[in-house]
A and B are shown apart, each in its own frame.
Chain A
Amino acid sequence: MMSEQLPLSGVRVADFTWVWAGPFCTLQLAHLGAEVIRIESESRLCVTRRIPPVADGEAGPNRCGYFNQYNQGKHSICLNLKKPEGLEVAKKLVAASDIVAENFAAGVMDRMGLGYETLKAIKPDIIMIALSGYGATGPESPYVSYGPAQVPMSGLASMTGFPDSPPMSVGFSYGDPNGGLHGAFAVLAALMHRARTGEGQYIDMSQWETSVALVGEGIMAQEMNGAAPQRMGNRDPHMAPHGLFRCEGEDRWVSIAVADDAEWQRLCALMEKPDLASDTRFVTLADRKDNEDVLEAAVTDWTATRSAEEVTRMLQAAGLAAFPAVTNKELAEDEHLRSRPFFAELEHPEVGVRQHAGIPWHFSDTPCQVRRPAPCFGRDTEDVLQRVLGYATDEVATLKDNGVLT
């Protein structure tokens, strides 16, 4: 029997965020059971409602995988914040909320008349988080920031890449979900503070700074020695072999990470290569690091005629770390992930049942579960205005007629 109680049952979030970092922050809160109400508008339709992938190639604001993945469990209301009546509705929503989240560039909420001091006057213990690219203060705070830029800005790119390549991206907009997760952690800490003291507060979160948090060892290296770690592809200073090795099939690879000399001996035994086991170029970690090109070629000789799955099974059975470089299709079909269960599959009115990524934390007492699919655009406008904000049916109709709910 599932408990009805969820960790954030009774917590309401007025969600002014859009694109990715902000919505990923509020997704965590929705996963934990908060009632997250997204304020949307036709005049600034979220970019994730406009870009691929779209269900079965048919476009439409409710058919985008990006939006539907990262807005599971939330509510959506349509509100034109450029109209004074729209602003009034937004303020009423804040008065009925515990948390306000936004990820506009610094200063935008203030200019809209929804700055922290204004909202605090409406709801004294409100917790407000601003997830901007640069933070709310500092000379570059008005600058424009997109999530993908956080990888280069944080210095992660400068340490990522092959030794002879320029700094490289990591293949996706890493700064966004990372910022969203740190933001959710901060909001939860502020809720704990409020529970203890009764006090709300403003949280200024910079995506740039949350990204630098991921390269702490690089900062420490620079501080200690005046130099950061070099780009080294998939290699590791403390393990060898450590990389992706070509397998049978088109663009198939397996990762192998050998932690110490004993593991290397086990790998040689598995590969049935006694000559490698006794080869003086590979006995110690230092030897293997000195001869890493030859070492990797020797391992590739063995992996290249086998499937990534077979290599993984063999190595894991011997307690060695290996896994195929899986595609999204393999993830979607993965029996292990399905058995957990990890995927969230709820009926959505426009795209039907799709296998969304679910919640990576499994709670024993108050199990978190995606409770509703991502909202169609404006699905909950009337419900929220009436149920949460106490508007009468005719008042909602008037707002609608006046173009406030668009």
Chain B
Amino acid sequence: MSEHPSSMPDPQAPGPLHGIRVIECGHMVAAAYAGKLMADLGAEVIKVEELSGDFARQRGPYPGNTPHPEKSGLFLYLNTNKRGVTLNLETTKGRELFQRLVKDADVVVHNYHPTQIASLGLEYETLAQQNPKLVMTSISPFGQTGPHRDYTAHDLTMWTAGGIVFLGGLGGRPDLPPLKAAGQQAGFQAGVNAGIASLGALYARLGTGRGQHIDISVQECLVAIMENNYIAWPYDQTTPSRLGFRLIPQDVLPCRDGYIYVLAVEEHQWQNAVELMGNPEWANTELFQDFVARSVNWDALKALLEDWLRDKSVQEVYHGAQKRRVPFAPVSTMGDLLKSDHLNARGFFAEIGHPEAGTLRYPGAPFKFAASPWTLRSPAPCLGQHNEEVYCGQLGLAPEELQALQETKVI
């Protein structure tokens, strides 16, 4: 019996970031994911949106594919456990209110572009005058300095600039372009990096008593994760690409009812896979005698494996292989994940209702804390949902002041 106590946290216990106050602003994924990581672990996150809302509200997916700013799946997912206010930072009054919000905050995390920082009043020096203990994390495509500082970028641009896109795509098809990963992966990577840096600076503050500014370059976040593909240049002047030779036989192959990912790195894994296949004669030929041979002759091997897999189910091959310590994996669809016995046994998906979008299951805790759990306490905020609570309740504005702010389009 395993000793870990992870299955028994007290769901009422405060999260590990209890008491940390975060202001988050910007658009789309990077700042929002950093904010979500902190909010889901108990930080009090206020999401500050422009009057027209985070661009993620315009992206979907939407129920019935009908666009609605309160029903975007991307927005709903990225903004759990936050309170939301609107604020027009392009107005003097808006910037003033922002400074008041920041005065009591521990962290500001944002992904406004460096070219927008001055006009939105987001200079660290200005904000730190009010609050020298402030940690401010600025995420931008290429960072706050350097010749590409002002370059504009979307997720695809960053996957390209980070060198990762050059690795993706179909080998043997030089006619097709390199391929990006689905979704908003550059944003997620920048977000988790921003989360790490923000907490690092908060921990530093315990010793120094001072806040600081953190400049995060999305491009650098991506160059840092490309496995051995970047470092191949400084070490042996090789350039991996989608068209290059890959040593380890691994591929996505079709089964009767979906796809299986086949991988057998170690010799014993391959031998066990051969046993799973019923020891076919071809497996003992020179063509496939070791992993180099299997890599070189992958096309022939692939055809034989496809033959074997044709009438099998994904789950049958997956569990059969894993029972023999062969690291095959299912190529999951989103539906497979929601139905997964394993993920559900771990209680991975978390359900919560939202006033406009209804009750849905969300991806849950990416890590389980034994003493101070990840929790889903509230759904993503509707646009400006907490204006009164924050501006009146927290900053002490009178109701008529709030109304005036609304009328002058500050909030």
Contacts and interface: CB of A to CB of B under 8 A. Distances in A.
B30 interface: no
Nearest to B253: A166
A21 B179 CA distance: 24
Nearest to A179: B366
A359 to B, nearest CB: 8
Nearest to B4: A136
Contacts of B227: 20, 66, 172-173, 176-177
B146 interface: yes
Contacts of A196: 18-19
B278 interface: no
A161 to B, nearest CB: 7
A203 interface: yes
A368 to B, nearest CB: 8
Contact of B236 (A57, A107, A335): A57
A321 B252 contact: no
A406 interface: no
Contacts of A246: 177
A200 B198 CA distance: 20
A340 interface: yes
A152 B153 contact: no
A360 B224 contact: yes
A339 B147 contact: yes
B121 interface: no
Contacts of B111: none
Nearest to A353: B234
A157 B230 CA distance: 22
A366 to B, nearest CB: 5
A228 B334 contact: yes
A39 interface: no
B117 interface: no
B334 A219 contact: yes
Interface stretch (B53-61, B288-296, B383-391, B394-402): B53-61
A148 B250 contact: yes
A43 interface: no
Contact of B170 (A165, A203, A221): A165
A364 B261 contact: no
Interface residues of A, number: 168
A233 to B, nearest CB: 7
B203 A192 contact: yes
Contact of A324 (B147, B160, B213, B343): B160
Contact of A212 (B168, B217, B363): B363
Contact of A244 (B58, B63, B178, B201): B178
A361 B216 contact: yes
Nearest to A135: B346
A314 interface: no
B196 A139 contact: no
Given A189-B199, A331-B223, A116 B4 contact: yes
A178 B192 contact: yes
A297 interface: no
Interface stretch (B44-52, B86-94, B97-105, B324-332): B324-332
B82 interface: no
B329 A153 contact: yes
Interface stretch (A253-261, A275-283, A384-392): A253-261
Contacts, number: 549
B2 A107 contact: yes
Given A7-B203, A219-B337, A224-B61, A326 B161 contact: yes
Contact of B366 (A182, A244, A329): A182
Interface stretch (B279-287, B368-376, B403-411): B368-376
Contacts of B145: 339-340
Residue with the highest number of chain A CB atoms closer than 10 Å, among B41, B182, B234, B368? B182
Nearest to B206: A195
Nearest to A214: B188
B241 interface: yes
Interface in B200-225: 200-204, 206-208, 210-217, 219-221, 223-225
Interface stretch (A48-56, A79-87, A375-383): A48-56
B68 to A, nearest CB: 11
B25 interface: no
Interface string B144-187: 11111011111011111101111111100010111111111100
B310 interface: no
Nearest to A221: B61
Contacts of B235: 53-56, 64-65, 68, 351, 354
A36 interface: no
Contacts of B170: 162, 165, 168
A45 interface: no
Contact of B154 (A137, A212, A245, A257): A257
Contact of B342 (A139, A174, A245): A139
A196 to B, nearest CB: 7
Nearest to B188: A214
Nearest to A324: B160
A188 B203 contact: yes
B156 A185 contact: no
Given A321-B154, A323-B161, A336-B148, A204 B327 contact: no
B78 A216 contact: yes
Given A152-B330, A325-B165, A337 B6 contact: no
A172 to B, nearest CB: 4
Contacts of A69: 228, 230-231
Contacts of A224: 61-64, 71, 73, 357, 360
Nearest to B150: A316
Contacts of B12: none
Interface stretch (A89-97, A235-243, A286-294, A393-401): A235-243
Contacts of A189: 15-17, 41, 199, 369
Given A69-B228, A168-B168, A184-B196, A203 B370 contact: yes
B242 to A, nearest CB: 6
Interface string B358-370: 0011111111111
Interface in A29-59: 32, 48, 51-57
Interface string B255-281: 000010101010000000000000000
Interface in A131-163: 134-141, 143-146, 148-149, 151-162
Given A7-B204, A323-B160, A323-B161, A162 B233 contact: no
Contact of A143 (B197, B237, B322): B322
A181 B191 CA distance: 10
A269 interface: no
A210 interface: yes
A201 interface: yes
B77 interface: yes
B325 to A, nearest CB: 6
26 contacts: A24-B225, A28-B196, A64-B235, A129-B367, A148-B250, A149-B327, A158-B332, A168-B252, A178-B189, A189-B199, A190-B369, A214-B188, A216-B77, A218-B183, A222-B334, A224-B61, A224-B62, A228-B334, A246-B177, A255-B157, A323-B157, A327-B241, A329-B237, A336-B142, A362-B143, A363-B201
Nearest 3 interchain pairs by C-beta: A220-B73, A171-B167, A365-B212
Given A144-B325, A170-B167, A219-B334, 11 more contacts: A134-B342, A166-B252, A169-B252, A197-B372, A212-B366, A216-B73, A217-B59, A327-B241, A357-B224, A358-B224, A365-B211
